[in-house]
């Protein structure tokens, strides 16, 4: 039976990881895989998470299933984090939500729900977007279209072209937007641009689909939620996929949230049943561990403050790494102006160099990142930044 299966090329990022592991160069640098790394190159367990683990170990008395929608405390705390403690849509009982197995699980659950609503729905995704958006959403059966987003020539967002394309979307269409810290470019919409997107959504009637994977890594937890809250509070319907992998460091625990903002509490009850039905058909019952940890952290004032401080530290470190890289590139005589890196946010940046230059720096200097020139800023540290800067300058 299986002999009929065609050969598939390895995932570009996973393939890079394998090549990096096999590289014998002691000075090799991994800027590919999207995980936060500290100054020593490790991905640590956050202190707040470690404390929550001890609490959970003492508190948990059973391994039976949790409720079909997931840990309700986790759901409520995450919605408050995303939408605000005094969110009008929450107070109006307009939000249906389930705990999902990671941000990927949330994206797929919501995509399957969209198919139930409108099999012919078009989903507009940014060019470029996170590579896994395409299979997660497209494999559900939805039609995909792209809208212009990042222009490498100007090293920034081509907002006029983006809005011109999105003006073609209408009622029944869906527009996927990165809530903050755009992956892969690191280029985020300004508050004024979010305001313009809201106006267009109100005029055209399309449904915003917000992917929020890096809350707190851009400008701050409250600041990064601007677009999410703006659309949620001013539109009748919005859907949100959120992840706790990055800002809680819970990568392997797969903790996410799929949320639907409806136009009434009556529709919310229907949507809640439908989204739980979708989840039931994919994985039956939700995992507990990671969601329970997040619930413990966000429910405890002291632990939450510890977590906020840790998120702030990670964000500030990544900001400083951008500055350090730009300075080292200048010191090493880069003819290209890389100052745009300081305006980008989150874990990722586009270096705006060619695929040929990316492959050259990999072959000659053992610096690993994908051909699009997306780099994981958190993979940089004081010990490798000089090597990285010299390697990049050598291929410019």
Residue 213 bears catalytic tag:
yes
Q: At what angle do helices 289-299 and 301-331 cross, to 10 degrees?
A: 100
Clarify whether 28 is annotated catalytic.
Answer: no
Catalytic residue among 155, 187, 201, 213: 213
Q: Which residues contact 195 (CB under 8 A, 6 or more apart)?
A: 230
Residue from 165, 246, 268, 345 carrying the catalytic annotation: 246
Catalytic residue among 188, 211, 295, 306: 211
Q: How many CA atoms lie within 13 A of 389 on its CB side?
A: 23
- 30, 96, 97, 130: which one is catalytic? 130
Q: 259 catalytic, yes or no?
A: no
Q: Is 307 a catalytic residue?
A: no
SS (H, E, C) the chain: CHHHCCCCCCCHHHHHHHHHHHCCCCCCEECCCCCCCCCCCCCCCCHHHHHHHHHHHHHCCCCCCCCCCCCHHHHHHHHHHHHCCCCHHHHCCCEEEEEEEHHHHHHHHHHHHHHHHCCCCEEEEEECCCCCHHHHHHCCCCEEEEEECEECCCCEECHHHHHHHHCCCCCCCEEEEECCCCCCCCCCCCHHHHHHHHHHHHHHCCEEEEEECCCCCCCCHHHHCHHHHHHHHHCCCEEEEEECCCCCCCHHHCEEEEEEECCCHHHHHHHHHHHHHHHHHHHCCCCCHHHHHHHHHHHCHHHHHHHHHHHHHHHHHHHHHHHHHHHHHHHCCCCCCCHHHHHCCCCEEECCCCHHHHHHHHHHHCEECCCCCEEEHHHCCCCCHHHHHHHHHHHC
Catalytic machinery residues:
130, 211, 213, 246
């Amino acid at each position: 039976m299986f002999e009929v299966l065609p050969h598939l090329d390895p995932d570009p990022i996973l393939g890079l990881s394998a090549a990096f592991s096999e590289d014998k160069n002691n000075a090799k640098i991994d800027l590919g895989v999207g995980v936060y790394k500290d100054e020593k190159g490790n991905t640590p367990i956050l202190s707040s998470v470690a404390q929550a683990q001890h609490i959970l170990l003492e508190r948990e008395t059973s391994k039976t299933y949790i409720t079909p929608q997931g840990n309700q405390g986790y759901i409520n705390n995450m919605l408050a984090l995303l939408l605000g403690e005094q969110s009008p849509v929450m107070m109006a009982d307009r939000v249906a939500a389930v705990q999902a197995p990671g941000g990927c699980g949330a994206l797929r659950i919501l995509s399957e729900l969209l198919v139930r609503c409108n099999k012919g729905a078009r989903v507009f995704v940014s060019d470029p977007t996170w590579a896994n958006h395409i299979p997660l959403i497209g494999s559900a059966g939805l039609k995909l279209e792209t809208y212009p987003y990042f222009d490498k020539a100007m090293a920034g967002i081509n907002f006029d072209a983006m809005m011109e394309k999105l003006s073609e979307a209408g009622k029944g269409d869906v527009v996927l937007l990165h809530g903050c810290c755009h992956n892969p470019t690191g280029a985020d919409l300004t508050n004024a641009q979010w305001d313009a997107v809201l106006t267009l959504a109100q005029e055209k009637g399309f449904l915003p689909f917000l992917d929020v994977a890096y809350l707190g890594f851009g400008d701050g937890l409250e600041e990064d939620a601007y677009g999410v809250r703006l659309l949620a509070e001013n539109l009748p319907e919005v859907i949100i996929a959120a992840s706790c992998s990055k800002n809680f460091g819970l990568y392997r625990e797969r903790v996410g949230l799929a949320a639907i903002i409806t136009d009434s509490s009556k529709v919310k009850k229907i949507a809640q049943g439908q989204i739980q039905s979708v989840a039931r058909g994919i994985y039956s019952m939700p995992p507990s561990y990671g969601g329970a940890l997040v619930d413990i952290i966000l429910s405890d004032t002291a632990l939450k403050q510890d977590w906020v401080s840790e998120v702030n530290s990670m964000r500030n470190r990544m900001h400083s790494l951008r500055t350090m890289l730009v300075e080292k590139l200048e010191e090493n005589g880069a003819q290209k102006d890389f100052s745009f890196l300081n305006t980008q946010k989150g874990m990722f940046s586009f270096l705006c160099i060619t695929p040929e230059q990316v492959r050259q720096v990999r072959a000659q200097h053992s610096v690993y990142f994908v051909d699009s020139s997306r780099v994981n800023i958190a993979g940089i540290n004081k010990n490798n930044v000089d090597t990285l800067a010299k390697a990049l300058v050598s291929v410019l």
